[in-house]
Amino acid sequence: MTERGCSYSAWAGCLAGDVDSRRPSAGVVKSATLDMSLPKLDKKLSTTYLTDTSRHLETPAFVYEEAAFDRSLDSVAPIRQATNCRVLFALKAFSFIDVLKLMEPRLDGFAVSSLFEARLARDALANAGTMHLTTPGLRPDDIGEIASLCDYISFNSLGQLGSYRDAVARYTSVGLRVNPQLSFVDDDRYDPCRPHSKLGVPLDDLEEAVARDRRSLDGVEGIHIHTNCDSTSLSPVLETVQHLESRLGGLLAEMKWINLGGGYLFDEAEDLSPLLEAIALIETKYGLQVYVEPGAALVRRAGYIVSSVLDIFTSDGRRVAVLDTTVNHMPEVLEYGYEPDVASHVEDGDYEYVLTGSTCLAGDVFGAYRFSEPLDIGSRVVFYNAGAYTMSKAHTFNGVNLPLVYALDSAGKLTLRKRFTYEDYAERWGAGISVTV
């Protein structure tokens, strides 16, 4: 994600690069659908057409490209074809209902982290398929409803397993999240196997518990692991499975299923064979049903944040462009300090700007980017590869509204799907509520 200026869709590139920068940004979209009547989204798109589109698109906007979801789903299709592995989508990466509906027919189900996510998937989808849940934050008040919605619950600790197993076992298959204590991620902030991790039962502790009393795992039918982040290599999954096998072989043989989690960018992986080998090992040697639950891999490349320049000025000798979006629409920029991909950024562009968000937070800054044309008030700046963990983490600090949500179909038609209103904002802060506790 830190690499900028690599490939992006022709649409995003044209939208960002070819705008008429003298024209102020768009007014209100009159109809929900902007029919661009484009034959296809390719590089032949006329600049005039895109200038027009840009003018109509209200910003800040989150645009999701329907065809890109198809391409991401294509990347996991070989896993489903070559093995019996079932592929779920981890809702935490992006939960827009229309997108879940697009994915539903090409997946086996969904992975959720809370009661709300579970309810959303079940309420919104006619056939949400298999639903898995794991979370370190299971609440006693939620467990009953969660068990009625989810087919598989992987408890995060032996304590929670002990507390809830009997209550849910009639409704759901009980699993245990295991921390294999095998790290592949250098940055502790993303590493589920970091020292003193809160995510899953450490393998050492699990072995000890089983040695002490095998009955501590009574009723457990599955193992959940999730140990990586944005990995384009699938070798760590094979290594992890081999590691588990060497330590838990006997226990694996007693299970019915294993969930290998997410954390792998199947859409960017050059070689799926280590994963296929891991799945084959589990399926043939232990006869377990295997699941994977990618998040980012299925949505990151399908999302764009389109913003407009609100102001430009010089500060300590550098040009600052204030955008109508904010890092709070892409919170991982601040959380993890990465610089997001900006369309039309060129390494040797003559015009450099520090792109900032529009809140009062000094650190609301995306980074320094270069363009071959100067930006002006109203110019569009498009962030690409912005589909994962943006809208699902976005918030309204300073009262800056959330982006409008547009769908871009494969014919190039943009449809406004969601506009967040002042009422949404005010409701969150208690408008219209008077409750005596």
Question: What is the binding site for ligand PLP (CB under 6 A)?
Answer: 90, 92-93, 111, 134, 226, 229, 261-263, 293-297
Alpha-carbon span 163 to 380, nearest angstrom: 53
Pairing state of beta strands 341-342 and 365-371?
Answer: unpaired
Burial 194-210 (b: 16+ CB within 10 A, else e): beebebbbbbeebeeee
Select from 94, 12, 98 the least CA-distant residue to 342.
Answer: 12
Angle at which helix 235-254 crosses helix 203-212, to 10 degrees, equals 10
Closest CB 51 distance from ligand PLP, rounded Å:
35
Residue number, 288 or 296, with CB nearest to ligand PLP: 296
Closest CB 160 distance from ligand PLP, rounded Å:
15
Select from 316, 333, 319 the least CA-distant residue to 383.
Answer: 333
Closest CB 253 distance from ligand PLP, rounded Å:
24
Residue number, 84 or 232, with CB nearest to ligand PLP: 232
Q: Which residues pair with 353 in a beta bridge?
A: 369
> What distances in angstroms separate CA 120 from CA 17, 105, 352, one per listed residue?
37, 17, 43
* DSSP conformation class of 162: H
Closest CB 171 distance from ligand PLP, rounded Å:
21
Q: Quick check: helix, strand or coil at residue 175? A: strand
Question: Which residue's structure tokens are 């955008």?
Answer: 323
Residue number, 177 or 345, with CB nearest to ligand PLP: 177
Alpha-carbon span 311 to 104, nearest angstrom: 42
Residue number, 89 or 353, with CB nearest to ligand PLP: 89
Residue number, 92 or 301, with CB nearest to ligand PLP: 92
Closest CB 90 distance from ligand PLP, rounded Å:
4
Closest CB 89 distance from ligand PLP, rounded Å:
9
With the C-alpha atoms ordered 181, 185, 187, 192, is the resulting torsion angle positive or negative? Answer: negative
Q: Which residues contact 362 (CB under 8 A, 6 or more apart)?
A: none
Closest CB 382 distance from ligand PLP, rounded Å:
22
Residue number, 53 or 134, with CB nearest to ligand PLP: 134
Residue number, 69 or 371, with CB nearest to ligand PLP: 69
Residue number, 198 or 214, with CB nearest to ligand PLP: 198
Following DSSP, what letter does each residue of 257-294 receive, concatenated?
Answer: EEE--S-B-TTT-S--HHHHHHHHHIIIII-PEEEE--
Closest CB 26 distance from ligand PLP, rounded Å:
32
